[in-house]
Structure 1
Amino acid sequence: MCWEDQYWALTSSGQSIPLSPTQAPCRIRVYLDYERGRVEFFDADRFPSLCLQLTFTSPPAAECSPKYEFHSLGKEDQCKLKEVMQKESLYWLTDTDRKRLWEKRYYCHEQPGSLPLLLTSAPSWEWACLPDIYALLKQWTYMNHQDALGLLHATFPDQEVRRTAIHWIDSMSDAELLDYLPQLVQALKYECYLDSPLVRFLMKRAICDLRITPLLLLPVRYKPQLPALEFLNRGQ
């Protein structure tokens, strides 16, 4: 933003940070490095003349995310919530389903496989809402490999969510990994950054097991039409 020959960077919280160019720029180039938590502003006509460098980090998880017993709900609420958690696709959720899931999120820990459905029901992924979402993610019951793969769906670009998914599937055996490798390669299309937890996971496993390497490269080279990742939400 320019005001009376002064330049400002505006944050989502409304904070104004002054830029300090040596000369009045005609164009400003913005460079974002999410993984390193850095935003830089350059005078585009005098590149690489740096106007300002900002650093940022992901918000920390909230200190507490309650866990309540599912059976402490009334019978009617239990039946309705269980019916929603048994849906096999994110796209089958209605607005009412999403509202019910999010309102009762602290009762869902006993059904670990419902996490993808629950996260897609979050009303907002704005910065201010992330601590509560991250606390829920941090304290969630360990998911099996098949259910954890659902968190690599295109619906979840958030790096903390995808990092948690890789943490849970990291113990997957090579034999099991070979079964899911085509879908994991397809999930690479949904990554926002080349240096991502999924890329690192696949590279590490390809180095450790040479059976994986050609199968990892083949889908990238020929780009076959693979089944959608939607079935991974429920491990089917």
Structure 2
Amino acid sequence: MMTDMSAALSELPERVVMQPADALSTRVEVYQVRDRHPTIEEQQMAAVGPTVFRPLLGEAVTQRRIFAETVDYSRILFLRADDSLVGHLQFYLDGKGPQRVIWSRVRREFGCPHGAPRALGAEAVMRWMAAQGPYISRLIIRPEYRGRGFGSVLLEAAIDHLREQGVRQVTLDAWASEKHVQRFYRRHGFIACEDPSPIRLLFNRVGGSGVTWYVKRL
């Protein structure tokens, strides 16, 4: 269990908490980038949005060029273990997420006639995600570190951080084909719910196997 997570996140300038993650008692640091410029490694993680952006804004390398200089780092938690950046979690709060769509950057990547519909589509998705209320949009642990409890530490840190902000319910989406991911969220108290909203139906069509909407009351 995380011990006094909310207090630790509040008191330290980069929102740091130390916690053993696995059987080796690896020291883990969960933090936010504040009062300094992000490292290149942090920028590369933060400037990639949820999977649904891929049809609109391209793969990770393209998204990094679009978003790199406009990321809101107050909507991201990073996890470091033994001086290695292991993963990160992105979330929406108070109607804002980590990335912003800037028309000029999308136009620079795709040109004027092709960039406009992509930018409009991405903006529509972001507005819908913001309207969900507190929403976890991306949780990524690097493959070589998976299965060691780091995802649980990061998710619980995010839940404690949101609870500290007065949040009483948080939602997220998980691809239906990724059964291990769905089991992970259920273990952490998330409950699958039905949601017929048009954007989520679009997710289902784009993803092929669909997505499941999860809710957790804090």
TM-score > 0.5 by shorter chain: no
State the TM bucket, normalised to the shorter chain: 0.3 to 0.5
Specify the structure having the higher radius of gyration (Cα).
Answer: 1
Higher normalized strand content (fraction of residues): 2
Question: Which one has more relative contact order, counting CA pairs under 8 Å at least 6 apart?
Answer: 2
Higher normalized helix content (fraction of residues): 1
Return the TM-score normalized by structure 2.
0.33
